[in-house]
Amino acid sequence: MAAKLTIDVLSLFPDMVEAPLGGSILGKARDRGLLEIRCHNIRDWTTDKHRKTDDYLCGGGQGMLLKPEPIFAAVEELRRRETRVVLMTPQGRTFNQSLAAELAASGGHLIILCGHYEGVDERFTQKYVDLEVSLGDFVLTGGEMPAMAIVDAISRLIPGVVGKSTAVQDDSFYSGMLDNPHYTRPASWQGSDVPEVLLSGDAKAIEKWRRRQSVERTLKRRPDIVGRAGIMPWLSGGAYVMEVHYPVLDKRGEKSSTAITGMDIHDIARACRTYGIKKYLLVTPLAQQREMAKRIIGHWTEGWGSTYNPDRKEAFSTIKIFASVPKALAWVKEKEKREPYKIATTAKSQQEATHWLTLKREIMLGDRSPVFIFGTGWGLHDEVLLASDAVMTPITGGTDNWNHLSVRSAVSITLDRFFGWR
């Protein structure tokens, strides 16, 4: 059986890499043909009698530098059409779980070059290296130990290497969060007991406990990674988007209503379905507007459009229409069996507004069911803002204060911040 992934490691000390990769799970995976790991000595591609791989720095300076010729010869001999060349260097992209997944899925062949001394001749790096990778902001004597760590992290993502795929999925960082604490027998040890919920046999309660522990541990130890994690899997309830057409402001700043547009419905519905939003709440007090929206929705969920574009049917199935904001919120409360966490959005600066990342952490910590409320026209009226639990700071960008996004753009950006994965 052909290996699903081949990794060639180029090093001045290949035995240093080979030894730890020969045992345990990786050794068994190699024996089963799930992956192939080959370690090579760069000196095997030298042409002089001294097998010289390094030389002095041009322009002077301390240390030696790996010469380009033997490395190039090695890469050329080992290269395939799908090959990616990875250089281990403190100056590279910081390695993390998402990069491990990217490399594991990048194709059938990786060449990992272990840097040494002052590194590698820049001409080789510029021409032949696809990715420079670092383990972190520190310097080691060579690239062998980082290469071992990366090979291990990549390999365990190959199907079949780890016994159960769920074991990988439950790891720290796999889903953007730290893993929950784990316990084994005995139930009591040195005065400390295993949490009762883990001994209860209640699968739902155990799952909820583990989810909460993962959230609390991440927020305490690594709050920095929350910004790039999608939070939906960590909530016990649903999340909602509300598009408000009344009460909103007109151009003069007076209370007004706005018309529903097909473009907004289409784009917001697709964004909601993409990010796992439970319901897209469309609010207008105008009966004619509600009837028009029902006809549009019916076309894509029940009419000809449902068979012409099943994906659009799925997106439009998330929409529910209400005559007022309070009625929509009451419906959410009934569905969730608790008060929703009402987050109003605005393009205007508000004194008490809260940054989206702070709100993201609060939602996770409190395990809340958020309702993101978006206004049309010139924004939400004060009665909606004042009745909300929080007002989110405006979406900003660019180099000046110009800020006039469409509601569908604002929805997409907001949902990506809270429920997207990076």
Annotated catalytic residue: which of 79, 90, 212, 217?
90
Q: Is 118 a catalytic residue?
A: yes
Annotated catalytic residue: which of 171, 216, 314, 416?
171
Annotated catalytic residue: which of 8, 30, 132, 156?
156
Separation between Cα atoms, residue 17 and residue 320, nearest integer Å: 58
Whether the CB-CB separation of 181 and 213 falls below 8 Å is answered with: yes
Q: Is 221 a catalytic residue?
A: no
Cross-strand bridge partners of residue 280: 241, 319
Annotated catalytic residue: which of 118, 314, 362, 367?
118
DSSP H stretches of helix in 275-324: 287-301, 304-308, 310-316
Cross-strand bridge partners of residue 16: none
User: Kind of pairing, strands 188-189 and 192-193?
Assistant: antiparallel
The Cα diameter of the chain in Å comes to 89
Q: Does a cis peptide bond (omega within 30 degrees of 0) precede residue 159? A: no
Separation between Cα atoms, residue 120 and residue 92, nearest integer Å: 13
Q: Is 156 a catalytic residue?
A: yes
Count the neighbouring beta carbons within 10 Å of the beta carbon of residue 225.
18
Separation between Cα atoms, residue 91 and residue 99, nearest integer Å: 16
Distance of CA 12 to the CA centre of its chain: 36
Separation between Cα atoms, residue 338 and residue 268, nearest integer Å: 25
What DSSP state is assigned to residue 1? -
Query: Which residues are identified as catalytic?
Result: 90, 118, 156, 171
